[in-house]
Structures are given as C-alpha cells and as structure tokens.
Amino acid sequence: MEKGFRAFIVNKEGEEFSAGIKEVHLNDLPEGEVTIRVAYSSVNYKDGLASIPNGKIVRSYPFIPGIDLAGTIVNSKDSRYHEGDEVIVTSYELGVSHFGGFSEYARVPADWIVPLPEGLTSKEAMIYGTAGFTAALSIDRLEKNGLRPDLGDVLVTGATGGVGSMAVAMLANKGYNVVASTGKESEHSFLRDLGAKEILSRSEILGDKILALGKQRWAAAVDPVGGKTLAAIASQLNYQGAVAVSGLTGGGEVPTTVYPYILRGVSILGVDSVYCPMETRKELWNRMATDLKPDHLLNTIGHEITLDELPKALSSILEGKSKGRVVVKL
C-alpha cells in the first residue's frame, strides 16, 4: 500500500514540541509480524501524558501514541494469525516505545495480539481498552481471593474514571452492592446509571485522619487512586477483605500501618495490566465478552470521537474532565 494514511504524531526536537494529525506510510511503521487496519482506539491518561512535552511516557520521537487498538489484520507473517482476523492489542510497549493505536494502520509483534472474542465488537473492545481490562483483572483477583456478592459492600474509588467506571458497571452487573467514591458531585447520576447503589465523596473515605484500624466497612475495594485513599481503605476492610490497587493518581506514598494486615488478615492485591500473562489476558477478554459485560457498555460508558477530535479529548483527560471511556474511530 503506497497511499498514505492518517495518524496522530508527537514530535520533539530540542525545545520544540508538536502534536497533530499527519500523513504517514506503512514504511514508517516499526517492525512486527502483523499489520492491522485499526478500527478503533481509546483515550487513556497515559495517552494524555504522551501528548505533552514533559509527560515522561514517550521514549523517542517522532512517535504515534495510543496504548489500545482493535481492528482487522491486513498482513501476517505469523501462522497463528491471518488476513481478515479481528484482533485486540493493548499493553506491552504499545503507545510507549512502539507506535500505538492513534493511526489508521499499525504493525505489532504477533505475541501481543488477542483474538477478538465472540460477543464483542471492535468498538466495544475499545470502550473497555486498557482501563476495562484493568478493571476486569482487579475483579478477577478479588474473586480468586474469595470475594462473593453476599459478603458485603464493594468500594470503587476514582469511580468516574476509566478503570473506576468500568469496575462499577462490571461489579453491578455481577450482582455486587457497589459503593462508588468520586470527587465529582455532578456525575452522581452517571454512576447510578452504571449501577452504583451508594455514592460517597473522597472526604467520606479519608475521614478526618487515617486510623490504624478504622470501622470495618468494605468486603473489598477496587482502587485506581492509591496514596492516602489506599491507606484509608486498608484500615476499613472487613476481616480477610482485600483491595485491588492499579493506580497512583492519589500519589505513590501510602501512609499505612501493619495492623490491618496482621490483625484483620486483609490483603493488598497489586494489579498490573501491562505484562499480564497472555493466558490470563485471553481468559479475561473472554469474561469481558460474557459474564463481566455490562448491558449498557455502548450507551452509558462509551463516547465516540474522530481522530480530529483527539487533541481535545487528550487535554480533557489530563485536566480531569473526562468521564467513562472515550473511543477514537479511525
């Protein structure tokens, strides 16, 4: 294919930084066994950081960000995959050191590919994206730790963000009593639409001070916030409860004590979506197409934009003005 195609490119030369839509060619793409016609990508906080000069995500320039993509294979040098196969690619080095999904075509290593499960469209897969996968991985880890709907309330922090909103919807769909925590009073109706039974402010989680052992409130928690919020959650978990932590928007320092862990047997479960084993990755994407799939995935959580609208969406997510999931149609 000699004709060019469109991509969102960031570049930095000395002190000069630029970001915008440009025409590129297949020869500009990095090495990889599989070439994909991208149908959809999605907007994540990491993508927002990649779009600014000092975001500390992009390792070399010029670069195409986008840590998620879904589309159709147009060329494959790997016998496992064939032209016409619909696939998903998230995580690994995509959109970090390897050209990502904000492009009409992408070339990736075959080992990064997940076949699109039956029951999911490419658009639905990107409404999920890395955020949805992280939420699913968090829930999966909690359930393997013993969580069941009858054990009590499950707290979700950062509930209007990508991971949080997906976790609220998935948990509610599974019959859990979900308590959502957010600092955005304007989004309470959005969270109730997702299935949250109760909504608390950030201050209601933190309280006046973080106690070594607080009142037992939560059977479990999904926490993409970290920092003081994680410490507060740990002190409020029920006996043998657990919190799945996947982010640090609240900071990397956790002012906790040993008491919740040795007196109540609670657990902190670390969630990493980037290098999650492929066997687990495929298993979870199949769950996201079946028992974890919210009924309102398309209508409530996902918002579609064009590539031309991407710069504004990247600014919004950095400013904390985004809610749910934004998908980019390529």
Positions in the chain short of pLDDT 50: none
Query: pLDDT (tens digit, 9 = 90+) per residue, 213-239?
Result: 999 999 999 999 999 999 999 999 999
The structure's pTM equals 0.94
Write the burial class of residue 288 (CB in 10 Å: 0-12 exposed, 13-18 middle, 19+ buried). buried
C-beta separation of 104 from 136 below 8 A? no
17 DSSP β-pair partners: 12
Write down the pLDDT at residue 39: 98
Same CATH fold assignment for domains 5-116+296-329 and 131-270: no
Q: Where are the domains of the chain?
A: 5-116+296-329, 131-270
What is the 3-state secondary structure of 133-196?
HHHHHHHHHHHHCCCCHHHCCEEECCCCCHHHHHHHHHHHHCCCCEEEECCCHHHHHHHHHHCC
Superfamily of domain 131-270: NAD(P)-binding Rossmann-like Domain (3.40.50.720)
Write down the pLDDT at residue 2: 63
Domain 5-116+296-329 bears CATH identifier 3.90.180.10: yes
